[in-house]
Amino acid sequence: MLRNHRLRILGITFATVLAMACGSSDLNFSGPTAEWPTYGANDNQNRYSPVDQITPGNVDDLEEIWRYHTGDFDDGSGNLMLPTAFQATPVVIHDKLVLCTPFNRVIALEPETGAELWSYDPKVNLDGMYILNCRGVSYWDDARAPAGSTCSHRVITGTLNAKLIALDLETGELCKSFGEDGVVDLARGMGEIQPGEYGVTSPPVIVGDRIITGSFVLDNRRVDMPGGVVRAFDARSGAELWGWDPVLPSAPDAPEGIKYRRGTTNAWTALTADDQLGLVYVPTGNTSGDYYGGHRDGLDYYSSSIVALDVNTGEVAWHFQTVHHDIWDYDLPSQPVLFDFPRDGEIIPAVVQPTKLGHLFFLDRRTGEPLFPVEERPVPQDPVEGEYLSPTQPFPTKPPPIHPATLTADDAWGFTFWDRGKCRELIEQYRSDGIFTPPTTQGTIHYPGYIGGMNWGSLSIDPERELLVVNTTRAAGVVRLIPRKEFEERFPDGHPSLGFELQGGTPYAVERLPLLSPLGAPCTKPPWGTLVGIDIVSGDVRWDIPLGTTRDMAPFPIWLFGPKGVPNIGGPITTGSGLTFIGATTDHYLRAFETATGKELWKGRLPTGAQATPITFRMRPESRQFVVVAAGGHGLMGIPSGDAVVAFALPD
């Protein structure tokens, strides 16, 4: 016995010395535990977790623990119209990690090992689908159900073909009491829908026993697209409780047989709710006919706005418009985030809304009143024939816009004098009068481009450090309106090539393309992507750093010595120990930064880009903290498609 004890002590001592030699730290099990039960981590949707086992001092010891492949992807060699993008943010609840794939399969994994527990396939017909996406699922507890009964814990998911589905968390089986055998058909009452035009790509928000969801409506197709109604459903039965039609009460009724007006603004990203105030915050897109709105006649009253709805009735409590008469596709792509705003000894319940313009609007979430001044400033005029414009647009004074407002020929950039000159020529041939320059038949510089600025990854708020962290892209595009006759002559079969869109029912089709040099780099000065830290009390920028490198996009050694900061899409999270984790970049890494300073501390290699928002969790007092991210690339960004879910933790 004594000999065995000595051998065990010797083994522990050797393991300790080896760990120190490798730079590993002893694991601290005294800190808090937390799951990740909602898309944005908690009721505030602030993407913050109090877990603190991984710290700035030991984050460099992170290692990959497990990797799971869903099998659901297309790299462009299959039958799909575009390569897939795996943008899911999982939830972790009741010892299960649950996510959805671009094909709408729902999968449950064991969070600490990655072992598959169950999967559910709704068998969505993907023929004709242009966008294949599922960003997450939602979770609901039935407080009235007997403990351990079937479907007392439910996973709620939406699909590309407009179905709302309830699954039993334990087994993945349909909850038969919900809708018709577990499924609610969201297409009912919407009128004619072509494949891929209407569905759900973001997780619904759940308030009490209500499931509230908007919808994805395909851009740039025609003015009479399916309407953007926001609806509430009973979480037990699936019965529709109310529907908010985003039009003024004075608007004409929908045609017979159609319940909700067509061609209205929609809410395609995630919603947020305040259960105590009884309000749900809806970020809306712009109205159909994305780059031409001469026909709208009030249909865009609620477009590009954050709208607060009563969770019980769907009635509008207030709304704040971030872009008037939006004809730039500058919709609100990001989930609103709730926080406590201290001022003069008072705590104001606040909401912050990021936009594609790089604007951040801090609002009192009770009333919609700005917490920092917002100025209506004159903007460029002289639109195409038939169009009208707002003479002014709202600009927040704090936080300051974190995207440049102008792009001139003098701002042209290139790797060499030659391609810089070509970029200068490109900028000179298009209209570029700064932000809000209207689309023209000549072609207009679109800066920010239609992916932002900020996009659906939203932002994270560390409440302990009173710091907001958000990523942004700084890459320009070109938008050109094409008169209908010219478009029909070019595409007589009515099927335009990639980059061209119909905008049916308007006098103009549209062409959209990135503003790139002949060498394929953005014509704008680096950094093309940044990560920014903002003080939520003062509204001041604390730090602003380049995010990512050109590795995996540019050949060696250009990426080694090339510019820092690349286009990105996805979002950040923050933790109690003062770390920020983010993927999002075109290079294939998950990174960790010190939240207080923006200093990069670690990066972990991934099989492809992580165009998704990571999560972190620590299940039990004896458990390790994990950081998990979906690494599935993004075909439209030129990042190879994939299907991996990758988990990192400190060595055990």
Give the H/E segment covering residue 20: helix 2-21
Q: Cα–chain-centroid distance for residue 332?
A: 10
Q: Kindly give, in sequence order, each residue whose CB lies less than 8 Å from that of residue 591, ignoring residues fewer than 6 positions away.
A: 547, 548, 581, 582, 583, 585, 600, 602, 603, 604
CA distance 28 to 622: 9
329 given a catalytic annotation: yes
Give the H/E segment covering residue 395: strand 392-396
Give the residue extent of every domain in the chain: 90-134+136-185
CA distance 581 to 157: 26
CA distance 336 to 44: 9
**Block means of pLDDT (10 residues each) for the chain, length 652 residues?**
36 36 68 98 98 98 98 82 90 97 97 98 89 95 93 97 97 98 95 92 97 95 94 98 91 80 94 98 94 92 97 97 96 97 95 97 98 98 97 97 94 93 96 96 95 94 98 96 95 87 95 92 94 98 96 71 90 98 97 98 97 98 98 89 97 90
pLDDT of residue 77: 76
CA distance 262 to 299: 10
Residue 622 Rama label (left phi>0; alpha psi -120 to 50; beta): alpha
Q: Kindly give, in sequence order, each residue whose CB lies less than 8 Å from that of residue 65, ignoring residues fewer than 6 positions away.
A: 112, 114, 626, 647, 648, 649
Tokens found for residue 525: 């000065």
Domain at 90-134+136-185, CATH from 2.60.40.680, 2.40.10.480, 3.40.50.2300, 1.20.1250.20:
2.40.10.480
pLDDT of residue 591: 98
C-alpha distances in angstroms, 346 versus 457, 468, 649? Answer: 30, 20, 39
Q: Residue 306: beta bridge partners? A: 283, 320
| Catalytic member of 329, 462, 587, 643 | 329
CA distance 247 to 43: 28
Tokens found for residue 531: 């990560």
Q: Cα–chain-centroid distance for residue 619?
A: 26
Each residue's pLDDT tens digit, 380-424: 999 999 999 999 999 999 999 999 999 999 999 998 899 999 999
Burial of 224-245, coded b for 16+ CB within 10 Å and e otherwise, reads bbbbbbbbbbebbebebbbebb
**571 with 135: CB under 8 angstroms?**
no
Helix (H, G, I), strand (E, B) or coil at 215: coil
Give the H/E segment covering residue 13: helix 2-21
pTM of the model: 0.94
Q: Cα–chain-centroid distance for residue 450?
A: 14
Distance separating the N- and C-terminal Cα atoms of the chain: 27
pLDDT of residue 75: 82
Which amino acid is located at 65 in the chain? I
Mean pLDDT, the chain, rounded, equals 92
Preceding peptide of 380 cis, ω within 30°: no
pLDDT of residue 83: 85
Residues composing the chain: 652
CA distance 537 to 399: 10
pLDDT of residue 13: 35
**384 with 292: CB under 8 angstroms?**
yes
CA distance 621 to 346: 36
* Residue 120: half-sphere exposure toward Cβ, Cα within 13 Å: 25
Helix (H, G, I), strand (E, B) or coil at 526: coil
Positive or negative, the Cα torsion across 529, 445, 359, 206?
negative
Instruction: Centre a 10 Å sphere on the Cβ of residue 87 and count the other Cβ atoms it contains.
Output: 26
pLDDT of residue 342: 95
CA distance 281 to 270: 9
